[in-house]
A and B are shown apart, each in its own frame.
Chain A
Amino acid sequence: MADWLQLDWLQLLMIPFLVALVLTGIHTYLGIHVLSRNIIFVDLALAQISALGATVAFLLGYYPQSIAAYGYSLAFTIGGAVILSFSRSWTGRVSQETFIGVVYVVSAAAAFLLVDRSPQGAEHIKQMLIGSILTATETDLLKVVLLYSAVGLFHWFVRKRFLLISFQPERAEAAGLRLWLWDFLFYVSFGVVVTSSVAIAGVLLVFCFLIIPAAIGTLYSDQILPKLLIGWAIGILASSAGLSLSFAANLPTGATIVCVFGGMLALAALLKPLLFNPKKLQILGQAGSFAVTSLLTIAFLSGAWLTFRPKADQPLLDWLEASYPSLRQAFLTPEEQDYLQQAGSGFDRWQSEIQRLDQMERQSRWQGKGLSDRELRRISSYTMSFQEMQNGEKFVQRELRNAARQRQRWVFGIPMMLLSSAGFLAVRRSPRQSDQPLPDKPIEANL
Chain B
Amino acid sequence: MQFCFGVACLLLFCLGWAMPAGADDVLRVVTTTTDLKSLVEVVGGDRVTVKSIALPAQDPHSFEPRPSDFQLLRGAQMVVKVGLDHDLWIDALLAETGNQEIQRGGAGYVDASVGIPLLEVRSTSIAPIDGHSHGAGNPHYWLDPANAEVITGGILEGLERIDPDYAAMYEANRSRFLAQLQDRLNTWEQQLAPFRGQPIVAYHNSWPYLARRFRLNLLDFIEPKPGIPPSPTRLAALLREIKDRQVKVIIREPYESDRVPRLLSSKTGVPVVTLVSSIGAIPQAQDYFSLFDYNIGALEASLKAALEASNG
Contacts and interface: CB of A to CB of B under 8 A. Distances in A.
A216 to B, nearest CB: 26
Contact of A12 (B117, B118, B232, B255): B232
Size band of the interface chain B makes with A:
35 or more
Interface stretch (A82-90, A162-170, A244-252): A244-252
B211 A123 contact: no
Given A137-B263, A365-B212, A119 B55 contact: yes
A230 to B, nearest CB: 28
Interface in A351-402: 358, 361-362, 364-367, 370-371, 373-374, 376-377, 380, 383-384, 387-388, 391, 394
A18 to B, nearest CB: 15
Given A366-B216, A370-B212, A250 B119 contact: no
B215 A122 contact: no
Contacts of B123: 383-384, 387-388, 391
Interface stretch (A127-135, A404-412, A429-437): A127-135
A253 interface: yes
Contacts of B229: 130, 132, 134, 252-254
B235 interface: yes
B234 A127 contact: no
Contacts of A333: none
A93 to B, nearest CB: 37
A12 B236 contact: yes
A135 B262 contact: yes
Given A123-B59, A123-B256, A380-B121, A9 B232 contact: yes
Given A8-B236, A119-B255, A367 B197 contact: yes
A250 B235 CA distance: 10
A8 B239 contact: yes
B246 interface: no
> Which secondary structure characterizes the binding site on chain B?
loop
Contacts of B230: 134, 252
Contacts of A135: 259-260, 262-263
A374 B118 CA distance: 11
Contact of B260 (A132, A249, A361, A373): A132
B119 A376 contact: yes
B8 to A, nearest CB: 32
A254 B231 CA distance: 9
A387 B137 CA distance: 13
Contacts of A367: 197
A361 B262 contact: no
A373 B257 CA distance: 34
Interface string B104-130: 000000000000011111110101000
B109 to A, nearest CB: 24
Contacts of A8: 236, 239-240
Contact of A377 (B58, B117, B216, B257): B117
Nearest to A138: B266
B232 A247 contact: yes
A119 B281 contact: yes
B228 interface: yes
A117 interface: yes
> Which secondary structure characterizes the binding site on chain A?
helix
A81 interface: no
Interface in A208-257: 243, 246-254
B2 interface: no
Contact of B266 (A122, A137, A250): A137
Contact of A120 (B231, B255, B263): B255
B183 to A, nearest CB: 21
A287 B109 CA distance: 64
A366 B195 CA distance: 10
Interface string A105-121: 00000000000010111
A13 B232 contact: yes
A391 B125 CA distance: 8
Given A8-B236, A380-B121, A122 B259 contact: no
In the complex, which of the residues A134, A366, A377, A380 has the most CB atoms of chain B within 10 Å of its own CB atom? A366
Given A251-B231, A253-B231, A365 B121 contact: no
Nearest to B211: A365
Nearest to A386: B123
A260 to B, nearest CB: 14
B57 A119 contact: yes
B269 interface: no
A275 B283 CA distance: 65
B137 to A, nearest CB: 7
A5 B240 contact: yes
A364 B234 CA distance: 26
A394 B255 CA distance: 39
A11 interface: yes
B162 to A, nearest CB: 29
A123 B232 contact: no
Interface string A131-171: 01011010000000000000000000000000000000000
Interface of B: 55-59, 62, 117-123, 125, 127, 137, 196-197, 208, 211-212, 215-218, 227-236, 239-240, 254-257, 259-260, 262-263, 266-267, 281
Interface of A: 5, 8-9, 11-13, 117, 119-123, 126-127, 130, 132, 134-135, 137, 243, 246-254, 358, 361-362, 364-367, 370-371, 373-374, 376-377, 380, 383-384, 387-388, 391, 394
24 contacts: A8-B236, A12-B239, A117-B55, A119-B58, A119-B255, A123-B59, A123-B257, A132-B229, A134-B230, A135-B260, A246-B231, A249-B233, A250-B233, A252-B228, A252-B229, A252-B231, A358-B120, A377-B117, A383-B121, A383-B122, A384-B121, A384-B122, A387-B122, A394-B127
Given A123-B59, A135-B259, A366-B211, 6 more contacts: A121-B58, A130-B229, A250-B233, A250-B234, A252-B228, A371-B212
